[in-house]
């Protein structure tokens, strides 16, 4: 296992995967348990969270695939985003949905995004890509030895190879790993070639920030912050804004307590 420091310049792997082999896959569904339909609720004027995520990552220049369930409840998603590359697969076996989506669109590497994170930051994705090499199975940020995907920040992504996802499917039949696509990977570091990027120290010192959306309280708070920070200029300005507003941090702490698993 190797951990990179963003500011050290050491072990600076250069990204060498062609754009035809990597793509952004956004995971979305209408049947959210705590806030059904949240991905289509207007978030910024008529723009949904998915619209905003697409805007945030579109300039990366990679194909964007929307991976949604193949049941009737999600027809509305398929219809709204018919101009995108859309893949429809199992609702609860999200691992299989990702594997089949990648195969359908010829992706060897996936930038994985969940559709409840409107503050996804393309600059952080580029930081991962700067460290990425084709030999890696998995690459993401880590904060206090915790994978960023398991935090409440809601701005980080992860890069995973299709080969790695297929290997997971071979190694386990535990449904929790089918629902949480990359969980098996980073809990079995002895099996996979995993690399970590050390996140900015700010995140270690401000662990009570929550910008992911599970509940109506999350939605309203993130919506308020987004309106005050539009156009979104990236995580540094955003974190500075939150840092000087203790009342926002207190609301986030309460939501973290409510939504911690």
pLDDT tens by residue, 186-204 = 999 999 999 999 999 989 9
pTM over 0.85: yes
pLDDT band for position 261 (50/70/90)?
low
3-state secondary structure of 2: strand
Neighbours of 233 (CB within 10 A): 11
H or E segment and range at residue 222:
helix 216-228
Q: Phi/psi at 202 (nearest 5 deg)? A: -55, -40
Range with lowest mean pLDDT among 11-20, 185-194, 205-214, 223-232: 11-20
Residue 35 CB partners (closer than 8 Å, separation 6+): 41, 213, 214, 215, 216, 218, 219
> According to the model, what pLDDT value does residue 16 have?
47
Stretch 68-84: mean pLDDT, rounded?
Answer: 97
Question: Are 171 and 52 in contact, with CB atoms under 8 Å apart?
Answer: no
Q: 227: buried, middle or exposed (CB in 10 Å: 19+, 13-18, 0-12)?
A: exposed
Residue 89, helix vs strand vs coil: strand
CA 146 from chain center: how many Å? 15
Crossing angle of the two packed helices 94-104 and 162-171, in degrees rounded to 10: 140
The pLDDT, as a whole number, for residue 199 is 92
Q: What percentage of the chain carries pLDDT values higher than 90?
A: 87
Q: Are 15 and 136 in contact (CB under 8 A)?
A: no
| Runs of H (alpha helix) within 162-215 | 162-171, 175-179, 183-186, 201-205
Q: Exposed (0-12), middle (13-18) or buried (19+): which is 194, by Cβ within 10 Å?
A: buried
> What confidence score (pLDDT) does residue 117 get?
98
Structure tokens of 21?
Answer: 């082999």
Question: What integer pLDDT is reported at residue 207 of this predicted model?
Answer: 87
Q: In angstroms, rounded to a whole number, what is the distance separating the alpha carbons of residues 210 and 255?
A: 8
Q: Dump pLDDT digits (tens) for 12-45.
A: 333 444 554 999 999 999 999 899 999 999 999 9
**Cβ(95)–Cβ(112) under 8 Å?**
no
Q: Which CATH number is 2-200 given?
A: 3.90.550.10
Asked if pLDDT for residue 259 goes beyond 90, the answer is no
Where exactly are the structural domains of the chain?
A: 2-200
Q: Write down how long the chain is.
A: 261
Give CA–CA dist 140/216, Å, rounded.
28
Rounded distance between C-alpha atoms, residue 197 and residue 6, angstroms: 7
Geometric angle at alpha carbon 22, from 18 and 27, rounded to 5°:
170
Taking the C-alpha atoms of residue 85 and residue 63, their distance in angstroms, rounded to an integer, is 8
């Amino acid at each position: 296992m190797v951990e990179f420091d963003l500011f050290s310049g050491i072990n600076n792997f250069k990204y060498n995967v062609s754009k035809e082999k990597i793509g952004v896959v956004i995971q979305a569904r209408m049947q959210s348990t705590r806030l059904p339909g949240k991905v289509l609720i207007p978030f910024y004027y008529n723009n949904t969270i998915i619209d905003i995520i697409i805007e945030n990552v579109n300039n990366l220049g990679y194909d964007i695939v929307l991976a949604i369930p193949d049941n009737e409840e999600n027809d509305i998603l398929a219809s709204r985003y018919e101009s995108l590359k859309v893949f429809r697969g199992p609702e609860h076996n999200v691992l299989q949905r990702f594997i089949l989506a990648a195969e359908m669109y010829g992706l060897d590497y996936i930038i994985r995004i969940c559709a409840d994170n409107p503050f996804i930051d393309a600059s952080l994705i580029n930081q991962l890509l700067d460290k990425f090499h084709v030999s890696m199975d998995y690459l993401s940020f880590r904060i206090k030895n915790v994978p960023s995907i398991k935090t409440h920040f809601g701005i980080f992504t992860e890069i995973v190879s299709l080969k790695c996802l297929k290997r997971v499917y071979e190694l386990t039949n535990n449904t929790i790993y089918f629902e949480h696509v990359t969980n098996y990977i980073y809990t079995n570091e002895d099996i996979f070639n995993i690399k970590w990027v050390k996140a900015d120290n700010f995140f270690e010192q401000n662990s009570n920030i929550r910008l992911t959306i599970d509940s109506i309280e999350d939605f309203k708070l993130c919506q308020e912050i987004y309106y005050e920070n539009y156009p979104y200029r990236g995580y540094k300005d955003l974190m500075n804004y939150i840092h000087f507003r203790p009342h926002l941090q207190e609301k986030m702490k309460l939501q973290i307590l409510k939504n911690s698993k």
